[in-house]
Chains A and B, each alone.
Chain A
Amino acid sequence: MEKELLVLTVNEEVYEIAVKPNDTLLEVLREKLDLVGTKEGCGLGECGTCTVLINGRPMLSCLTLALDAAGSRITTIEGVAPGEDLDPLQQAFITHGAVQCGYCTPGMILTAKELLQREARPTAKQIKEAIAGNLCRCTGYIKIVEAIQAVKGGEGL
């Protein structure tokens, strides 16, 4: 399969890379751009581990073809922390014990970030609906919901 040139904007940086038409965004982020914060769980759209923000909305990078992501603004977990400090949401996850193995965490944070941008003080029900597609095998979700509730609604990402 012949490669094509893809211009991708990730975390406000522009990358030019040669990709195959059947490369997924997840593969390109991890293997070509070395942005390994985004993880693969199921690869089939059933776990939410690979969640990234595309034009501000949480989407599954394992089911997005890289070429289809051209022209969009992509945000990965690496784009969340402003500089050297942690984003308040990231700090809340640590403070509230919402991270165990950490594998679901990047996807969880990005999904929660978008929720907080449209709902400054989400209820537990709204949080659970927003993160319903981010599966966690470790924590039982209670601490994750508490961490998200502890954060005041977001400044822009």
Chain B
Amino acid sequence: MDAVLEIKQEFGSQCVLLAGGTDVLPLLKRRNISPGHVVSLRRIPQLRQVQYSDEDGLRVGACVSLRDLNEHQTITKSYPLLAEAALSVAYNQIRNMGTVVGNVCLDNKCSFFNQTAFWWKSRQDCFNRGGESCYVVSGGKQCYALCAGDTVSALIAMDALLEVVGPEGKRQVPVRDFYTGDGRRPHHLRDEEVVTAVRIPPPAPGWKEGFQKKSARGAVDFAIATLSLRLRQNGRAIEDARIVLNGVSTKPIRAEKAEKHLIGKDPKAETIEKCLRFILEEATPLSLVGASAFLRRRMIGTMFRDLVESLVN
């Protein structure tokens, strides 16, 4: 790790880190990015560890694959939401290679930006390529590339944290605070910093949880939307809730107004519908990467109603 940090300190953004390679290599092959240096993290044993204790919860090293996470004995028992989210990523081979932390740090996706260098010869550069326009939002003043990681909404719903290491030492950042909403620079991560692990608190009693991902083919594709829902009820009344979306905008959405609306109330149809209206207000879905904003809004509605019905008593 020290060697990695030294290299990162010297080369900053000119050095890209390689874990599973399923995001970085396509970016390199298309020449979406052209860093001078690529550093592989694959032979650093401490990044491959999964640790669990009842006091501290789960700690997943940066190079733990989605497959290895799902085969860890505690996951299906204590963190079924994360297991389900991890299983929804792409397909078999990608899950064998790709890592959980890599999914959190996935570069934002765009139907335009993620074309090849040859394709880009035919048009002016967008913001993400150093130009002055966006092809996704006409007249847009920022990069609107999509935050696409499928495990992200589950991690935020479970109050997960990232461990980040840099020249100034270690820090912890809640996953919900990691995203900037700017497609050009999607993560609050300095050029010299490395995410070394994701931590999830120990499971708390009384919560029911559910996850859904909608995508064109049911596998392989990026999401139309992903929704993670956690509810704690006292009798019929909802005591606490976590409603988190990803795959719909430039960063994940934790629908806090919607959550607050549910607290203390019975999950009657009119409450749920009002809650959904709050979610859709907070969501600001975009049209790119295989789905229109319209489709995203419809799918969010379908998923939310389905999940609520399956979870509440």
Contact = CB atoms under 8 A, between A and B. Distances in A.
B111 interface: no
Contacts of B93: 48, 51, 58-60, 111, 133
B42 A111 contact: no
Contacts of B260: none
Contacts of A20: none
Given A44-B26, A59-B97, A133-B90, A68 B219 contact: no
B92 A132 contact: yes
B214 interface: no
Nearest to B87: A129
A130 interface: yes
A129 B92 contact: yes
Contact of A63 (B22, B67, B219): B22
Interface string A27-65: 000000000000000011110100100000111101111
Contacts of A51: 93
Contacts of A59: 93, 96-97
Interface in B201-239: 218-220
Contacts of B92: 58, 111, 129-133
Contacts of B220: 46, 132-133, 135
A24 to B, nearest CB: 8
A60 B219 CA distance: 16
B219 A129 contact: yes
Interface string B25-49: 1101110000000101010000000
Nearest to A42: B26
Interface residues of A, number: 26
By size class, the interface of chain B is: 20 to 34
A48 B25 CA distance: 15
A8 B219 CA distance: 32
A133 B221 CA distance: 10
B12 interface: no
B26 A63 contact: yes
A132 to B, nearest CB: 4
A135 B90 CA distance: 13
Interface string B92-106: 111011000000000
Interface string B1-37: 0000000000000000010011001101110000000
A94 B67 CA distance: 31
Nearest to B20: A63
A45 B97 CA distance: 11
B91 interface: yes
Interface string A89-120: 00000000000000000000001000000000
B106 to A, nearest CB: 13
Contact of A57 (B21, B26, B67, B91): B67
Interface in B52-70: 67
Contacts of B38: 21
Given A24-B25, A45-B26, 6 more contacts: A57-B67, A59-B97, A62-B25, A63-B97, A132-B219, A133-B93
Interface of B: 18, 21-22, 25-26, 28-30, 38, 40, 42, 67, 90-94, 96-97, 218-220
21 contacts: A22-B28, A24-B25, A44-B30, A45-B22, A58-B96, A59-B93, A63-B22, A64-B97, A65-B18, A65-B25, A65-B40, A68-B40, A111-B93, A129-B92, A130-B92, A132-B91, A133-B90, A133-B91, A133-B219, A133-B220, A135-B220
Question: Which are the 4 A-B pairs with shortest beta-carbon distances?
Answer: A133-B91, A132-B219, A63-B25, A132-B91
